[in-house]
Each structure stands twice: as structure tokens, then as C-alpha cells.
């Protein structure tokens, strides 16, 4: 039992560190761990969501105390994401798993290439006389797309929300990460409530993971403020590439399994 608690705590810590430094909820780590302990996929996703609520709240509170979080920006991004995430979940039920995984892998790789053209894209999008309107519209759009893709691919949304903010909203990598963590808190609450009503949550496990994550995210938010934009960008892209390769591998296995069944 002690070994189990220790593994959960360390995994939560790593997930929180990832959330604080890169604005990624760490759901991929937590879900994989929970599946390894023979929990059902539904229990793994539900319990991970509860842990991420605790982690994201702690990190966002710390960012707010440090003056690094705009509630207005988080609200603009988070409000449409709550709605569109539910739409994404509904759509996902009609698409084969291997297609979802493959599309997600391609999307992550595409984001990295788009980053090189971010200055050109924002120059084309924004005009001096309507930049405020465009910014607010694109904030709602970014949150909506991020939520849709989060629901569609079963992730927290940070891995998508961060590059979208850079590409469409002219935000720096640091600010995008801080905003993303705030949005993850909002979307995770919505997800957790839905799973709790369906009795999918392993509450004690989620609480242990979340407590471990609190320490990690506190460390991560402090580290983030001391890193250069270049280092953060490199780290985010490296994690994106790793997740993209892993997801592509899972898509291939899912496709082989589909062929065997059919």
C-alpha cells in the first residue's frame, strides 16, 4: 500500500511540474499510470481529471499571486472551451480510435512547423484599427477550438491551447502557458463533475495524485518565471514531439487491433 501511495505521489509531482513549466495538464502521464494499475479507461480519465483540478488550481493561484495570470484572458479562453469540449466528446464517439490518435499526432507536428511562421500569421490577421475586436474574437475562437480538440482527443487541452495562443493571439510562450493552466482548471472542473455524476472517479487515488501535483506545480511555476523564452519553447516542442511519436505508435497499434477484430 505504501509503495502504491509513493508511486502515485511521485507521478502527481511529475505531472504538476509539467503543468507548471509547460502549461500541460499532465493527463497523459496520469492516465497511463492509472491504466497500468488495472483501472478501466473511464476510471483513469475521470480520476486524472480530478487530480488535474487540484494541480491546475494550485498553479493558477500561484501564478495569480506572482502577478502572472490575467483572469480576463482565462475567462475568454475558458468559457467557450467548456461548451465545445462536450461537443468534442460527442463527436469522438463516432470516429475510430486510430483515426483520432493519428490526427492528434499530425496536429502536434503541424503546430511545431506553424510556430516558425507566427509573426507572418499575426501580421496578416491583425489590423491597427480593429485589433481589440480581433483579439477578443480570436480569444473565444482559440478557447473554442482548444476545448473541441480537448474533448475530441481526450486531453486537458494545454498541448493545443498554448500554440494556438502564440499563433493567433500574439502571446509569448510564458503567458500562453500561464493562461493555459487557468483554462485547464476550468475545463477539468467541468469534466470532473460529469464523471462524478456517473460514479467514475476513484476519489482517494485522485486526491493523492493531486496532492503530489501541488508540490510539482508550485516548483514548476517558479521555474517558469526564471527560464528564457527560447528554453521554454524548446522544452514545449520537445514534449510535443515525444507525445506525437507516442500517439502515432498508439494509433498504429489501435489500427492493428481494429484489423484483428474485423
Q: Give the mean pLDDT of the chain.
A: 80
In the numeric block, the cell 473511464 is attached to 42
Distance of alpha carbon 75 from alpha carbon 72, whole angstroms: 5
CA dihedral of 13, 17, 20, 25, whole degrees rounded to 10: -70
Distance of alpha carbon 4 from alpha carbon 242, whole angstroms: 27
CA distances from 257 to 123, 254, 261 (A): 46, 5, 6
Contact between residue 24 and residue 158 where contact means Cβ atoms under 8 Å apart = yes
Three-state secondary-structure class, residue 120:
helix
H-only helix segments in 23-96: 27-36, 41-65, 71-92
> By C-alpha distance, which of 180, 102, 196 is closest to 142?
180
Distance of alpha carbon 30 from alpha carbon 242, whole angstroms: 16
Distance of alpha carbon 208 from alpha carbon 195, whole angstroms: 18
Digit-by-digit pLDDT tens for the chain (262 residues) are: 677 788 888 888 888 888 788 777 666 677 777 877 877 767 877 888 888 888 888 888 888 888 878 888 899 998 998 888 778 777 777 778 778 778 878 877 877 777 776 666 666 666 655 677 778 888 898 888 877 877 776 565 677 788 888 888 888 888 888 888 888 888 888 778 877 887 888 899 889 988 988 888 888 888 887 888 788 888 888 888 887 887 788 788 878 887 887 7
pLDDT digits (tens, 9 = 90+) for 171-225: 888 888 888 888 888 888 877 887 788 788 889 988 998 898 888 888 888 888 7
Contact between residue 25 and residue 19 where contact means Cβ atoms under 8 Å apart = yes
Cell numbers standing for residue 58: 494550485
Amino acid at each position: 500500500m505504501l509503495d502504491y501511495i509513493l508511486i502515485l505521489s511521485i507521478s502527481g509531482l511529475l505531472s504538476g511540474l509539467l503543468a507548471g513549466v509547460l502549461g500541460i495538464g499532465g493527463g497523459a502521464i496520469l492516465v497511463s499510470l492509472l491504466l497500468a494499475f488495472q483501472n478501466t479507461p473511464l476510471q483513469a480519465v475521470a480520476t486524472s481529471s480530478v487530480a488535474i483540478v487540484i494541480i491546475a488550481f494550485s498553479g493558477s493561484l500561484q501564478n495569480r499571486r506572482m502577478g502572472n495570470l490575467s483572469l480576463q484572458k482565462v475567462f475568454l479562453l475558458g468559457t467557450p472551451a467548456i461548451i465545445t469540449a462536450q461537443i468534442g466528446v460527442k463527436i469522438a464517439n463516432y470516429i475510430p480510435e486510430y483515426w483520432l490518435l493519428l490526427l492528434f499526432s499530425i496536429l502536434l507536428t503541424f503546430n511545431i512547423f506553424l510556430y516558425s511562421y507566427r509573426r507572418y500569421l499575426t501580421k496578416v490577421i491583425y489590423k491597427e484599427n480593429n485589433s481589440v475586436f480581433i483579439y477578443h474574437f480570436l480569444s473565444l475562437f482559440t478557447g473554442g477550438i482548444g476545448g473541441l480538440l480537448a474533448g475530441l482527443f481526450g486531453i486537458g487541452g494545454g498541448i493545443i491551447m498554448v500554440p494556438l495562443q502564440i499563433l493567433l493571439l500574439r502571446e509569448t510562450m510564458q503567458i500562453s502557458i500561464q493562461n493555459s493552466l487557468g483554462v485547464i482548471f476550468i475545463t477539468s472542473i467541468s469534466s470532473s463533475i460529469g464523471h462524478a455524476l456517473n460514479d467514475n472517479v476513484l476519489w482517494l487515488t485522485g486526491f493523492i495524485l493531486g496532492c503530489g501535483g501541488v508540490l510539482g506545480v508550485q516548483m514548476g511555476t517558479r521555474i517558469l518565471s526564471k527560464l528564457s523564452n527560447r528554453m521554454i519553447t524548446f522544452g514545449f516542442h520537445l514534449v510535443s514531439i515525444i507525445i506525437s511519436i507516442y500517439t502515432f505508435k498508439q494509433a498504429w497499434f489501435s489500427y492493428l487491433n481494429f484489423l484483428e477484430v474485423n
